[in-house]
């Protein structure tokens, strides 16, 4: 069975990590293992934006890639950005084996904190599932209820499902059976 490792970067709630791993195992039929926490790399911080550059964090977590890993998924609590986007929940490169999900903006709805733990967890589940989908070669889906739909806002994340649509599910089955 293929292994996917989850590496917490910074202060990530351990309860979220222990809940997310079995949910992802069920969706992907991979074994998910949680690695020890690593610090957020200081060189990723952009003082003018007051955010962390995702590509630098991904480069850094790549150093923690176990030899038997199919993929490495970083989860961080810091606010992230990439040059092309100031609002970013997650980041991956389909040609790579590393992805990153930031939980920072998943905590909020507008300017108010969104305290419901289950909704916060559902958001994290959607974004981690989405990023692993990208690592497996999936592109964004045009079905706005599919987990592979691009979230332009937190409302899009809330509206989409935690699962793949019928068409994406067929692709997933083909990948898993090959």
Token representation of residue 50: 């007051």
- Options 131, 161, 167, 169, the catalytic residue: 131
The candidate with the shortest Cα–Cα distance to 81, out of 131, 44, 135, 126, is 44
For the chain, which residues make up each domain, given as ranges? 3-176
> What confidence score (pLDDT) does residue 113 get?
59
**pLDDT of 159:** 94
109 pLDDT more than 80:
no
Looking at per-residue pLDDT, the higher value among 111 and 158 belongs to 158
Mean pLDDT, range 69-79, rounded to an integer:
94
- Cα 72 from Cα 119, distance rounded (Å): 24
Q: Which fold has domain 3-176?
A: Collagenase (Catalytic Domain) (3.40.390)
- Tell me, yes or no, if 161 is annotated catalytic: no
pTM for the structure as a whole: 0.90
pLDDT (average), residues 137-151: 95
pLDDT at residue 87 greater than cutoff 50: no
Dihedral sign computed on CA atoms, order 98, 131, 68, 169: negative
- Rounded CA-CA distance 60/47 in Å is 19
Residue 96 has pLDDT above 90, yes or no: no
Rounded Cα–Cα distance for residues 37 and 129 (Å)? 20
State residue 112's pLDDT score.
54
Q: Give the C-alpha separation, 115 to 28, whole Å.
A: 29
Which has the higher per-residue pLDDT, 117 or 62?
62
């Amino acid at each position: 069975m293929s292994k996917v490792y989850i590496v917490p970067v910074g202060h990530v709630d351990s309860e979220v990590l222990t809940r997310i791993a079995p949910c992802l195992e069920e969706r992907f039929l991979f074994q998910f293992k949680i690695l020890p926490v690593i610090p957020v790399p200081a060189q990723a911080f952009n003082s003018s934006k007051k955010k962390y550059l995702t590509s630098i964090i991904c480069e850094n977590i790549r150093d923690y890639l176990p030899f038997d890993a199919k993929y490495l998924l970083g989860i961080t609590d810091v606010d992230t950005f990439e040059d092309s986007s100031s609002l970013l929940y997650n980041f991956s490169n389909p040609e790579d084996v590393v992805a990153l999900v930031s939980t920072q903006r998943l905590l909020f709805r507008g300017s108010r904190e969104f305290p419901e733990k289950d909704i916060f967890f559902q958001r994290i589940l959607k974004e981690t599932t989405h990023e692993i989908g990208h690592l497996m070669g999936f592109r964004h889906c045009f079905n706005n209820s599919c987990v592979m739909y691009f979230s332009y806002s937190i409302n899009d994340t809330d509206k989409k499902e935690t699962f793949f649509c019928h068409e994406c599910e067929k692709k997933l089955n083909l990948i898993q059976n090959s």
